[in-house]
Amino acid sequence: MTVRWIGGSPCAGKSTVAELLADRHRLRHYRVDDFFEEHALRLGATGPVFTKVLALTTTQRLGQPVDVQVADVFALAREQFGCVLADLAALEGDLLVEGAALTPQLLSEHGVESGTAIWMVPTETFQRRHYGQREWARRLVADTPDPAAAFESWMRRDAVFARAIAEQAARTGYRSLVVDGTQPAAALARTVEQHFALTPVPSG
């Protein structure tokens, strides 16, 4: 079994690229975000940051200083990573694992080779524009006392997170791919495909 990893900041097109590659190469796509609530239940009291974050309202969470929010995101990733590894151990076939919780530091500690992992990191301008076009993102902050301030806090958090991911990737010897909106998803998928040295599966 071969496992390939796509990490990066939210709203960078990770899921779209993963879906394209999984379909093209007949890989099983494991989307970490889909298991957040299941992992939270599994961790229970052994996941103190999960417990803290899930107890906060959107207003409370986005009202924290940005550095606290970013620290929580990295701590959540570390708590969740054991659950991810346990899930993968129970699966068969070649896997494409994707999600923002896959940090370069965690994968480096796990011994993941550089040719099997990549991080998609959006520019802040692209990230803000892309989030702004998503109705669900606006709905998420709609019930806060100041939706504009909550949205701004969210964007600043993700911009800091993106920079930290790029810095981690460079420090640990992994590749990061800057996403600025100038390339369509198909072109990004080709870049990731080449990085993974994937050969299309013959049809028939």
> What's the domain range around 24?
3-196
DSSP 8-state assignment for residue 22: H
Q: Is residue 204 part of a domain?
A: no
Q: Residue 185: which CATH number?
A: 3.40.50.300
Give me the number of domains the chain comprises.
1
Q: What is the pLDDT of residues 37-92, one digit of tens each?
A: 999 999 998 999 999 999 999 999 999 999 999 999 999 999 999 999 999 999 99
CA distance 102 to 108: 10
In this prediction the pTM is 0.94
CA distance 182 to 80: 33
CA distance 55 to 64: 14
Q: Is residue 202 part of a domain?
A: no
Q: Is residue 72 part of a domain?
A: yes
Name the residue among 1, 11, 12, 10 with its Cα closest to residue 192: 12
CA distance 17 to 13: 6
Q: Is residue 37 part of a domain?
A: yes
